[in-house]
């Protein structure tokens, strides 16, 4: 979401009171633990560590980190992208915040990229990146689009790449999506790591819709999403969902809003499939002092969540989840 539009909705989500807990917390020292905000907005607090500030992203070209995902092909690395206003670029970085290269997504355009995910695709055994051009602040887009492409292999020499000298991904496939009930703004894209099913979570005060495209039913034309759940408060803070991810084991969901994170866990007794997870009560996960938090992902081992923020040299926070292995 552009920062100008964010300013017009900040009162609705009361982000300032929650995210900016103190000037000291906002600055933070790398490696320091950040005390959790006292503004618990519903749901039980997760059994998790305090957020640790791992680093600040060094790349000057990452100014609006709007999505994050752990690399499957390059363990220890992560991918992010900017919000609207940038081109179709993805940026690699490591846990120390060091830039590891920039890639232009071939065949893609960028209207309002809001999230990024990883999952299976057409070629068995290959990992794909999904870039979600799903933002629609004024609910005017009749269709939104995802770009799916094989995840690049990152080499040491790629660290020198910038937007001006960006590497090229393999050509991306455009997956066009349409909501069954009219346009929505959305900032959270999730892909199930086993089934490849795609989920888009909308952003609205009254309730966040969870829309699904089954991997088995995807077509080359326009795909009609199906509404499978609606997330409502008070368990979610205003339901202004701004990012999400599915754990590598396919049994947990992480979501975030401007204030904090949430985790939903599929019960061991669940017999109705993965979509039962959306009916679970979320546990609150503090994600640190983020000026405008729009991204969250699981670490590759699923034992922690990582989050960034919009702004120059954004912080990279990590929260360890108890009992997640």
Q: What is the DSSP string of 241-295?
A: --EEEE-TTSSEEEEE-SS-EEEEE--TT--S-GGGGGGSPPEEE-----SS--E
Quick one: average pLDDT of 296-321?
A: 96
Domain count, the chain: 1
Phi-psi region at 35: left, alpha or beta (left = phi > 0; alpha = psi -120 to 50): beta
Quick one: average pLDDT of 106-123?
A: 97
- pLDDT given at position 58: 97
- List pLDDT tens digits, range 278-292: 999 999 999 998 988
Residues 6+ apart with CB under 8 A from 146: 130, 131, 132, 133, 134, 174, 175, 177, 189, 198
- pLDDT given at position 288: 93
75 assigned to some structural domain? yes
262 assigned to some structural domain? yes
Residues 6+ apart with CB under 8 A from 262: 43, 235, 236, 254, 255, 256, 282, 283, 284, 285
Indicate if the pLDDT at residue 269 is higher than 80.
no
Q: Which domain holds residue 85?
A: 3-320
End-to-end CA distance of the chain: 33
Q: Is 299 helix (H, G, I), strand (E, B) or coil?
A: coil
Strands 243-246 and 198-202: unpaired
325 assigned to some structural domain? no
Q: How far is Cα 238 from Cα 14, in angstroms, rounded to an integer?
A: 9
110: which 2 tokens? 């960028």
Q: How far is Cα 28 from Cα 289, in angstroms, rounded to an integer?
A: 9
Mean pLDDT of the chain: 88
- pLDDT given at position 13: 45
The DSSP output letter for 165 is: G
246 assigned to some structural domain? yes
CB atoms within 10 A of CB 271: 6
Angle (CA) 198-202-207 rounded to 5° is 125
- List pLDDT tens digits, range 1-32: 555 444 444 434 444 334 333 333 344 567 76
- pLDDT given at position 41: 42
Largest CA distance in the chain: 51
Report percent pLDDT > 70 for the chain: 84
Among the residue ranges 128-142, 196-210, 260-274, 302-316, the one predicted with the least confidence is 260-274
Quick one: average pLDDT of 139-163?
A: 97
Angle (CA) 28-29-33 rounded to 5° is 75
34 pLDDT band, cuts 50/70/90, is: low
To the question of pTM greater than 0.95 for the whole model, the response is no
104 pLDDT band, cuts 50/70/90, is: very high
181 pLDDT band, cuts 50/70/90, is: very high
44 pLDDT band, cuts 50/70/90, is: confident
Residue entry with tokens 């909501």: 179
Q: How far is Cα 105 from Cα 274, in angstroms, rounded to an integer?
A: 30
Quick one: average pLDDT of 249-258?
A: 95
Helix, strand, coil percentages, rounded to 5, for the chain: 10, 40, 50
Q: How far is Cα 115 from Cα 133, in angstroms, rounded to an integer?
A: 8
CATH, residue 165: 2.120.10
């Amino acid at each position: 979401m552009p920062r100008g539009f964010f300013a017009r909705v900040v009162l609705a989500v009361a982000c300032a009171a929650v995210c900016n807990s103190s000037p000291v917390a906002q600055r933070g020292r790398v490696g320091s633990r950040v005390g959790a905000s006292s503004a618990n907005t519903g749901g039980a607090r997760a059994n998790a560590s305090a957020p640790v500030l791992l680093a600040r992203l060094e790349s000057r070209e990452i100014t609006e980190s709007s999505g994050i995902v752990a690399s499957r092909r390059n363990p220890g690395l992560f991918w992010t992208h900017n919000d609207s206003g940038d081109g179709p670029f993805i940026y690699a970085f490591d846990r120390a915040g060091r830039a590891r290269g920039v890639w232009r997504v071939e065949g893609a355009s960028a209207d309002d990229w809001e999230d990024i995910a990883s999952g299976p695709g057409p070629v068995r055994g290959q990992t794909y990146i999904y870039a979600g051009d799903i933002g629609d602040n004024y609910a005017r887009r009749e269709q939104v689009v995802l770009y799916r492409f094989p995840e690049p292999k990152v080499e040491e020499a790629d660290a020198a790449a910038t937007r001006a000298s960006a590497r090229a991904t393999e050509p991306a496939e455009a997956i066009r999506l349409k909501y069954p009930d009219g346009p929505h703004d959305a900032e959270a894209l999730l892909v199930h790591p086993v089934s490849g099913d795609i989920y888009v979570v909308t952003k609205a005060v009254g309730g966040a819709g969870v829309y699904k495209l089954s991997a088995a039913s995807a077509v080359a034309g326009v795909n009609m999403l199906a509404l499978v759940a609606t997330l409502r408060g008070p368990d979610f803070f205003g339901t202004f969902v701004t990012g999400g991810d599915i754990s590598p084991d396919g049994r947990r969901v992480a979501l975030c809003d401007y204030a904090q994170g949430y985790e939903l866990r599929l019960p061991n007794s669940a017999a109705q499939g993965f979509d039962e997870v959306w009916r679970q009560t979320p546990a609150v996960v503090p994600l640190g002092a983020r000026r405008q938090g729009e991204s969250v992902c699981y670490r590759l081992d699923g034992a922690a969540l990582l989050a960034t923020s919009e702004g120059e040299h954004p912080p990279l926070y990590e929260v360890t989840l108890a009992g997640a292995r």
